[in-house]
Chains A and B, each alone.
Chain A
Amino acid sequence: DIQMTQSPSSLSASVGDGVTITCRASQGVSSYLSWYQQKSGQAPKLLIYAASTLQSGVPSRFSGSGSGTYFTLTISSLQPEDFATYHCQQTYSTPFTFGGGTKVESK
């Protein structure tokens, strides 16, 4: 399996802050990388796929970059509704593995 490692596992930030989350793959996945947002008690919601393509309806403050084994998700200016857990997932080869999640909390 391709192992996905996210960092940090949690972070504290304030509204208006810029936030960056990283995701590393144990082997190259080209740009087959998705990012999800999950709020407590809810299903995950797709933010970005193909490493940098914003899913329809997702605010432009979210952006993704990277290829190969290193990827980042950036929130340019954190909004109150962005406090949640973020997951990366490689979709290059099955099983499509997920990272361990990054919880973004209010400072």
Chain B
Amino acid sequence: QVQLVQSGADVRKPGASVKVSCRASGYTFTDYAIHWMRQAPGQRLEWMAWINTGNGRTKYSYKFQDRVTITRDTSAKTVHMELRSLTSEDTAVYYCAKDRLREPSITPWGASATYSPSIDPWGQGTLVTVSS
């Protein structure tokens, strides 16, 4: 079955970086995009980025663009998310999730049946705590 398994919880100091990994199994890794989201305590879910696991092309939320890098290792069927210059506001559970699309980059009006992302399943989540 399709499964995404994330790396374990991490504690970092302000100003540091964190790298979270997401290992995929049960499907052809390079055929589907992977998204990253996070959920801070008491806050709504927040989308961060996607990666085309076939060619490595990425799309980042402008909010994180200067601080985040998403990479993939096709031989290990793993996607990595690195977030830099951490502050306490980055304390959150970070999730990866698989899309049904290779690259969710075009959304023609009225064509959602073909072009709509379908983001599922999600990994189990990785708690990143930023504290001095």
SS class, residues of chain B in contact with chain A: loop
Given contacts A43-B122, A46-B120, A50-B112, contact A91 B104 (CB under 8 A): yes
Q: Cβ of B44 and Cβ of A49 under 8 Å apart?
A: no
Q: How many A-B residue pairs have CB under 8 A?
A: 83
- Chain A's interface size range is 20 to 34
The residue that A95 contacts in the complex, of B61, B95, B97, B107, with Cβ under 8 A, is: B61
The residue that B112 contacts in the complex, of A31, A45, A101, with Cβ under 8 A, is: A31
A60 CB contacts on chain B under 8 angstroms:
none
SS class, residues of chain A in contact with chain B: loop
Pairs across A and B, CB under 8 Å, 24 listed: A31-B110, A31-B113, A32-B116, A34-B116, A34-B117, A36-B45, A46-B118, A46-B120, A49-B117, A50-B112, A50-B116, A53-B113, A55-B118, A55-B120, A87-B45, A91-B116, A92-B107, A95-B48, A95-B61, A95-B62, A96-B35, A96-B117, A98-B47, A101-B44
